[in-house]
Amino acid sequence: MNMSDFIVQTKQLTKTYKGKIAVDQVNLQIQKGQIYGFLGSNGAGKTTTIRMLLGLIQPTDGEVHIFGKNLKKDKLSILRKIGSLVEYPSYYGHLNAIENLETIRRIIDVPKSRIDEVLSIVQLTADAKRPVKGYSLGMKQRLGIAAALLGSPELLVLDEPTNGLDPSGILEIRELIKSLPQQYGITVLVSSHLLSEVEQMATNVGIIQHGRMLFQDSIETLVQQAKQHIMLSVSEPERAAATLNAAGIRTNLESEGLLHCSYVPDTKIASAVHLLVHDGHDIYRITEKRESLEDIFLAMTREGGF
């Protein structure tokens, strides 16, 4: 794939703090129109990576290319097309929402009408004239997103945008993020430590642990990693397990007398059922159990990769 096809591409991006590695040779790749979920537990290196993408901290090694340009050389022209919300919302508590956005507008020099537009996108118009220090966390977060959208960015970088929000706030922000690529053609990089959250909005996912990228692909590919298991409930589990194992179908006897076969194709299940019926077993129940993304994620972060 050509380099210019990527909106964001890092090459061996590395950051060390006093000899301790925070981000380790990360090759992040985001294409236009994606909602890229950047997933990792707290302290995995997400925020450090994002800060490097925004030029807030200097990489120890490696390169950042955004919009096909090198961040080191074209920092200002790149930043002009990025909106960001890093870690927790930044605001001036003594100013109201309009004044807060105006402090940014005066620097990025966009029309004043943008302030009303972004306030209505994040539904803060009604509270726009109250001092921000009286806002709830969710409102501050939405103001942060409004600030990020002010310059009509092509790339939106949101670091843990739903942190500390209540369920309805999370839903609101999630729906907002999901609408951005379709409505405004914005590419989104959104980080989170919650898989369920990324799963519900991202098209692509990158998983980082101890500063290393463990997985980077589409959500579908990640879901395909989820392995299938078949659980069988039969009349004589012990004898049935022996029968199936003798026939070459690996079966474990679980607690409560359930039989557990891993990764079995459909044809093998058919022959297993045939075998058991033929052998005089009563089959009460056959259930399929898929590994959840949570399981994959936990397995991945536990092992440090596949």
Partner 1 sequence: MLTRAFASDWLKLRHTWIVALVIFGPAGVIGLQAVNWGLRYDYLTDRYAGMLWETLLKDVHFLSVPALLLGITLVASMLAGMEHQHGSWKQTLALPIRRRTVYMSKWLVCQTLMLLACILLMTGMLLLGYLLGFGGNIPWDSLLARSFYPWLTAGPILALQLWLSISTANQTIPLSIGIVLSIMSLSAAGMPDWMPLKWPLLMKDSISTELSIALGVSTGLLVLLFSIIHFTRKDVS
Which residues, 18 to 77, sit near partner 1 by CB under 8 A?
51, 54-58, 76-77
Please, are residues 241 and 253 in contact by the beta-carbon 8 Å criterion? Answer: yes
131 binds partner 1 (CB under 8 A): yes
Stretch in the footprint of partner 1 (CB under 8 A) among 88-96, 163-171, 178-186, 285-293: 88-96
Single-letter amino acid, residue 169: G
Stretch in the footprint of partner 1 (CB under 8 A) among 106-114, 227-235, 257-265, 283-291: 106-114
235 binds partner 1 (CB under 8 A): no
Among 99, 217, 236, 295, contact with partner 1 (rule: CB under 8 A): 99
Q: Residue 161 contacts by C-beta under 8 Å, 6 or more apart in sequence?
A: 85, 141, 144, 145, 173, 177, 190
Among 88, 217, 236, 283, contact with partner 1 (rule: CB under 8 A): 88
91 binds partner 1 (CB under 8 A): yes
168 binds partner 1 (CB under 8 A): no
Stretch in the footprint of partner 1 (CB under 8 A) among 114-122, 143-151, 171-179, 244-252: 143-151
93 binds partner 1 (CB under 8 A): yes
Among 9, 84, 187, 251, contact with partner 1 (rule: CB under 8 A): 84
Cα separation, 241 vs 234, whole angstroms: 10
194 binds partner 1 (CB under 8 A): no
Among 95, 137, 258, 273, contact with partner 1 (rule: CB under 8 A): 95
Q: Site residues (CB under 8 A) for partner 1?
A: 51, 54-58, 76-77, 79-80, 82, 84, 86-95, 99, 102-104, 106-109, 131, 144, 147, 151
